């Protein structure tokens, strides 16, 4: 089952540090099979309020997502993002192909 890294960022200071982060992150994803599914798109908000940027990175599984986040290459560039934005970053399992909404009731 796929694993995901999700970022919900606010107040991104789009200066040299963020540019460097963006230039370096793809190389950190490659060894772990990570790929961007959402990055930089503006949402069409249908209900509620939304602010910030949503980033969704898919990995083959949650262990790969954890290995990427904990890798020396990614840990090295985290400050470039963290010191120039605020927000939440999380790692989470995806739903399997046979998942149904009622499965969460079990």
pLDDT mean across residues, the chain: 96
A 10 A CB-CB count for 93 gives 12
- The 10s digit of each residue's pLDDT in 22-67 is 999 999 999 999 999 999 899 999 999 999 999 999 999 999 999 9
Q: Specify the residue for token string 């934005």.
A: 85
Q: Is residue 64 part of a domain?
A: yes
Q: In this structure, what CATH number is given to the domain that contains residue 17? A: 3.30.70.100
Residue 100 resides in a domain: no
Residue 48 lies in a domain: no
The number of domains in the chain is 1
From 39, 33, 37, 49, select the one nearest 8 (Cα to Cα): 39
Whether 47 is covered by a domain: the verdict is: no
> Is the model's pLDDT at 85 over the cut of 90?
yes
| Residue 19 counted as domain residue | yes
Print the domain residue range for 38: 3-42+53-93
Integer Cα distance of 11 and 84 in angstroms: 8
Residue 88 lies in a domain: yes
């Amino acid at each position: 089952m796929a694993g995901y890294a999700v970022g919900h960022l606010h107040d991104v200071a789009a200066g040299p540090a963020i540019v460097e982060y963006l230039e370096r992150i793809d190389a950190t994803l490659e060894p772990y099979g990570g790929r961007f599914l959402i990055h930089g798109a503006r949402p069409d908000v249908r209900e509620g309020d939304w602010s910030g940027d949503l980033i969704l990175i898919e990995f083959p599984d949650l262990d790969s997502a954890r290995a990427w986040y904990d890798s020396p290459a990614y840990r090295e560039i985290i400050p470039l993002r963290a010191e120039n934005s605020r927000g939440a970053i999380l790692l989470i399992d995806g739903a399997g192909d046979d998942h149904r909404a009622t499965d969460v009731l079990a």
